[in-house]
Structure 1
């Protein structure tokens, strides 16, 4: 392919990637700043933990109905409206000193953020030809890892020269910049294309019908949804185990705050190296192996970390698990885009996202309470063991030769029933 052809093919995806990168960095800056603002107002670590609970509850609330809305609206304009809505709320956030008001604002900001994530996935799937999706997802993973490293660094710099409020405004600017970039993106849907599914008002009956539609699809294409669910369980166990990471590092491994900071930096390096490696080899590795092997190595990294007794071994575990997540995420996103019908993607993503968010709340609460009753090491090792079991099942499911068609770019556009 000539350079001119490559440039033309990747013009809009490059603009979209830039928009995603700006938004991701801004999100990191915003949430770190928000943590400090709440801590400064209340002086309570529990109040900061409340932010995580509010975000999770908001996701659960949103995902009950958001997919039905997303699938029936123009994706480009919905992305623009959601980002503008987030921008306005974030600009207003520093003017509130009441914790209840801040929680309320975070609740609505998270609603917009959750809807934006699902909407952007649908938009990306419609925009990108099937043969380019794996490369795009690997580049997106690289941008996410870059945001993971640069976001906190930018936040720290802004805290040094200003205040957490300055960081909040920086995120608002980043989101508004993302809006301007999105305006340059093509409109991939016409009113005629949406007419068939957008002629019904949001109601309990509509939501019920949509849930039934997702259930029918899940039954008919059970293999696709089993892979989806297993990967979601991996995310749940990773989140629940991560919730005890700081306590495990400081109380069990007896690491100082500085050593724990280095451990987090090593994980960041693992994400970056993994993402860079992923972009180089992604076209040579089948999607099925990206999901299966990436998940299995990630779970193995968690086992090394949670079974470690020294800083060196814990560092190896952190690096390995962070390194492998880039491969697993790229494989899963590609599998999802190639096998979920774009006309159903909003509803399937929101409903399964609801299940995932609910399981995250339950698992994190159970792990937190259990860590007060039994040894923290036992809980994190148990979590890693469950994760390894799920990853092993996922690996077996994905590498079966009889399922090869599900990992081919041509196996797409399944029909809703």
Structure 2
């Protein structure tokens, strides 16, 4: 009994750390594209910035997985948050310039975005050590609830901060949240000792082991392929959301924030629903059906033209998308051995995120040549719908 209480306490500390950094992330998501649009007037640059933030997942995910399975997990998470805070301070200082030099901004965003793929496998692989196996889906739902709740209050609070105090000041707050997250990590008492050093030879061997297991585990790998196409479709719209709301629909930043808040209600609801439906349906069926429904409702964005209608449809999309995430994370944590979990997280994440920069860049390019967002959302919805159908026919869909 004491053991369970001890683990739950450490889980709460991790949860609070995630909460603090997630609050800052919302400010970053809202502030940076608005700063770029205000200074350049270019949807292409705004979408490119968004896409660049995901490129490090392709380069550093595998390294992050090996780091997670080798070194002290608490130390990795602590250093990751501290470095992120320092880089965010640098970003805030840089965007204060009157004229942005875009390649320099791209570089700073790239470095800042490189921290997450290096520490995310550690975050995912430490979770099973902080909770019982039977409680993993509840733990993942609680973690996801942070994102979901902030999807509701984050846009409103972030939009208010940006309107009242400017986007640059929002970045300063983001930096502070990283340092607060690092503080909570230091309070985790569980022991996560290092398993040696990581030379180049060991790193290569470690990556090969993780890749071999990931590609050989058909159910897990099928899920990452499904997310590859789903993320491609999703980010064709998300990369240009602020442009679409403020430039094409002529809505205010507050209206755009309100739409994102409505979307967050769908995500929050999914956090409560997923543990319940997982008792009655297999993970594979939940993942494939929820992806198809997310694609179907993405197409419905074609008929929206107000903050309320966009928010309502986004809420439904977010509801099914959040069910996706919770279910897949839990399936992966339950089926993969703990000594290799960090590397499997890194491989599957790399595969699923590889499409995000492509989708972001493509949508930015299509807008630059005169394509409307209405056309883009229809295309994105069809791709996501087909991704779910493919998952239904794959080994993932047949998973019991």
TM range (shorter): 0.7 to 0.9
Which of 327, 343, 354 pairs up with 2:339?
343
Secondary structure at the aligned position of 2:124 is classed as: helix
In the alignment, which residue of structure 2 is the partner of 1:77? 75
The CA distance in 1 between the partners of 2:242 and 2:20, in whole Å, is: 28
Asked if 1 retains the 8 angstrom alpha-carbon contact of 2:124 and 2:345, the reply is no
Asked if 2 retains the 8 angstrom alpha-carbon contact of 1:70 and 1:346, the reply is yes
The CA distance in 2 between the partners of 1:342 and 1:80, in whole Å, is: 21
Secondary structure at the aligned position of 1:153 is classed as: helix
Report the CA distance between 1:8 and its aligned residue: 4.9
User: Given the alignment of the two structures, is residue 54 of structure 1 paired with residue 52 of structure 2, yes or no?
Assistant: yes
User: Given the alignment of the two structures, is residue 325 of structure 1 paired with residue 332 of structure 2, yes or no?
Assistant: no
Which structure carries more relative contact order (alpha carbon 8 Å, separation 6+)? Answer: 2
User: Given the alignment of the two structures, is residue 299 of structure 1 paired with residue 299 of structure 2, yes or no?
Assistant: no
Secondary structure at the aligned position of 2:128 is classed as: helix
The CA distance in 1 between the partners of 2:245 and 2:178, in whole Å, is: 35
Report the CA distance between 1:166 and its aligned residue: 2.8
Report the CA distance between 1:207 and its aligned residue: 4.9
Asked if 2 retains the 8 angstrom alpha-carbon contact of 1:87 and 1:175, the reply is yes
In the alignment, which residue of structure 1 is the partner of 2:228? 232
Which of 154, 158, 162 pairs up with 1:155?
158
Which of 13, 17, 20 pairs up with 2:18?
20
Q: Could you state the TM-score of these two structures normalised by the residue count of structure 2?
A: 0.83
Which of 257, 266, 273 pairs up with 2:251?
257
Report the CA distance between 1:78 and its aligned residue: 0.7
Report the CA distance between 1:84 and its aligned residue: 1.0
Asked if 1 retains the 8 angstrom alpha-carbon contact of 2:88 and 2:172, the reply is yes
Q: Could you state the TM-score of these two structures normalised by the residue count of structure 1?
A: 0.80
Asked if 2 retains the 8 angstrom alpha-carbon contact of 1:302 and 1:384, the reply is yes
In the alignment, which residue of structure 1 is the partner of 2:216? 220
The CA distance in 1 between the partners of 2:178 and 2:274, in whole Å, is: 27
Asked if 1 retains the 8 angstrom alpha-carbon contact of 2:61 and 2:346, the reply is yes
In the alignment, which residue of structure 1 is the partner of 2:265? 269
The CA distance in 2 between the partners of 1:239 and 1:87, in whole Å, is: 26
Root-mean-square deviation (Å): 3.3
Report the CA distance between 1:75 and its aligned residue: 1.0
* 1:214-256 superposed Cα distances (whole Å, 9 cap, x missing partner): 34313532232122322332222222243455677789xx844
User: Given the alignment of the two structures, is residue 242 of structure 1 paired with residue 238 of structure 2, yes or no?
Assistant: yes
Report the CA distance between 1:379 and its aligned residue: 4.2
Report the CA distance between 1:5 and its aligned residue: 8.6
The CA distance in 2 between the partners of 1:43 and 1:383, in whole Å, is: 25
* 1:245-293 superposed Cα distances (whole Å, 9 cap, x missing partner): 5677789xx84415766544432332233334446x3664445154233
User: Given the alignment of the two structures, is residue 144 of structure 1 paired with residue 147 of structure 2, yes or no?
Assistant: yes
Asked if 1 retains the 8 angstrom alpha-carbon contact of 2:228 and 2:353, the reply is no
* 1:368-391 superposed Cα distances (whole Å, 9 cap, x missing partner): 445637665444323312211221
Kindly name which structure, 1 or 2, has the bigger radius of gyration based on alpha carbons: 1
Report the CA distance between 1:20 and its aligned residue: 1.0
The within-5 A match list for 1:276-291 is 276-278=272-274, 281=276, 284-286=279-281, 288=283, 289-291=285-287
Asked if 1 retains the 8 angstrom alpha-carbon contact of 2:82 and 2:179, the reply is yes
User: Given the alignment of the two structures, is residue 386 of structure 1 paired with residue 352 of structure 2, yes or no?
Assistant: no
In the alignment, which residue of structure 2 is the partner of 1:184? 187
The CA distance in 1 between the partners of 2:244 and 2:25, in whole Å, is: 26
Report the CA distance between 1:82 and its aligned residue: 0.9
Going from structure 1 to structure 2, the CA distance change for 1:240 and 1:341 (only over 3 Å counts) comes to farther
Extract unaligned runs of 5+ from structure 2.
none
**Aligned length in residues:** 389
Extract unaligned runs of 5+ from structure 1.
405-417
* 1:19-70 superposed Cα distances (whole Å, 9 cap, x missing partner): 2111111111134333344455555544433422331333333235333333
